[in-house]
Amino acid sequence: MTNRIVIIGSINVDNILHINRLPQPGETIAMSEYSQAAGGKGANQAVASARSGAATTFIGRVGDDNNGWLMIEKLKREGIDVQHVITSHTLPTGQAYILLQESGQNSIIIDHGANYQVMVEDVAAAADAIQAADFVITECETPISAAAAAFHQAKAAGVRTILNPAPANQRLTPELLAYTDIIVPNETESGTLTGMPITDQASLAANAAYFRERGVATVLITLGDQGVYVVTDTGSRLLPAFPVHAVDTTGAGDAFIGALASELQPDLSNLYAAVQYAQRASSLAVQGLGAFPSIPHRLAVLAAAKNA
């Protein structure tokens, strides 16, 4: 069965500065290369979902500019339904400035632009798509009020919700958490949101307990090359990562979430298998440059698993 996914989120153009290392305070360094790629956490997740075979609908905003027109065309080419992507006439399309080190690690600065104009009204206009979905996904590069409205609609219709609380610079409201079925932070984001940095197994378990105490039944904390810590009503389990050489980690978490939603059964009966599929997709994504360009298609994920 093909999953139907609705994503409410951000659309950005990524400006990538290739550098040897991060500059020290007051230091000037040269970049070795400059490149651009399509991105934004929401758009990345939508592409990952579509490339893994899900029927994907997007709710978001772009500016009335070249970047906005470009991004809409890119999403259309992936087979993503963009009828609920609205053009803003007052703010530009969002942009990200990515400092990409030779190690593959990145630091990202966001200009939200039109992404911060995503409104509750935009969600209401997409009610039919939300109610017909298997999963609704959102993150924190668009307003929390719109995210909560989308999740409220989803839960009222019996639709599963997945929250990627990234970046972790907005306060997650009790309402949003109460409407969240699955939360997927990385270890840094989780520590920031809970106020408990993850340093060992005990703090990892305490982080998961924090979210579950606030109504989130399933917690997936991604731990980079250490894997994914999965906590459900039946217990906890660490699923190891697949070891690869990372070239660019931009969009790796988004590749994970989109792939997860495409593979996961709505009753969550195949949760562990879906997490492993998503880990495989993420491991392929970090081996390429850029967000959109590196997100794998389903056949590539299955081939990597077969050849492992």
At a CB cut-off of 8 Å and minimum separation 6, what does 140 contact? 147, 164, 165, 166, 167, 168, 169, 170, 172
To the question of whether residue 158 is assigned a binding role by annotation, the answer is no
251 marked as binding residue: no
Question: Is 68 marked as a binding-site residue?
Answer: no
CA 277 to chain centre: 15
- Residue 127 labeled ligand binder: no
233 is in an annotated binding site: no
118 belongs to an annotated ligand binding site: no
Q: Is 267 annotated as a binding residue?
A: no
Q: Under 8 Å CB-to-CB from 147, ≥6 apart: which residues?
A: 8, 138, 139, 140, 163, 176
Tell me whether residue 248 is annotated as binding.
yes
The answer to whether the annotation marks 250 as part of a ligand binding site is yes
Nearest to 259 by CA among 244, 226, 281, 232: 281
227 labeled binding residue: yes
Q: Is 285 annotated for ligand binding?
A: yes
CB atoms within 10 A of CB 224: 16
254 part of the active site: yes
* Marked catalytic residue, from 81, 134, 181, 254: 254
Does 12 carry a binding-site annotation? yes
Q: Is 43 annotated as a binding residue?
A: yes
In angstroms, the CA 194 to CA 215 distance is 14
Say whether 223 counts as a known binding-site residue. yes
Q: Distance from CA of residue 234 to its chain's centroid?
A: 25
Q: Does 56 belong to an annotated binding site?
A: no
List the binding residues. Answer: 12-14, 40-44, 141, 186, 222-227, 248, 250, 253-254, 285, 288, 290, 294
What residues are annotated to the active site?
Answer: 254
List the binding residues for K(+). Answer: 248, 250, 285, 288, 290, 294
List the binding residues for ATP. Answer: 186, 222-227, 253-254
